[in-house]
Amino acid sequence: MKITLFILAHILLFFSCSSYTNYEDFNERTDSTKMVFQDNAQECEKLGHLEASRSEGSKRAGEISIDKKRYFVSCMNRKGWILKVTN
């Protein structure tokens, strides 16, 4: 049980510390500029924060952070910005 919690804590720490809102983290689009990306990112970040704060039940900080990232990335996907896959 302790090992599982230890591994889960490190995974959550990794996700909360990794950047996912930088222009370099997304595939470049020929029809948009960096300024458009920044506007879209700002809008999606606000939406992600709002959606994560609406979640039901009690969530820990790591879970809320993961939810914010998930909402942000899905919003950016809807706007045509695809996150680069890193290994």
How is the chain split among helix, strand and coil, in percent rounded to 5? 65, 0, 30
| Dist. CA 76–CA 21, nearest whole Å | 10
pLDDT number for residue 41: 93
Residue 18 burial (CB count, 10 A)? 10
Could you tell me the pTM of the whole model?
0.67
pLDDT range class, residue 87, cuts 50, 70, 90 = very low
What does the block give as tokens for 46?
């606000």
- DSSP letter at 24 equals G
The three-class DSSP label of residue 34 is helix
Give residue 40's pLDDT. 94
- pLDDT (tens digit, 9 = 90+) per residue, 13-63? 555 555 678 888 889 888 989 999 999 999 999 988 888 777 666 777 778
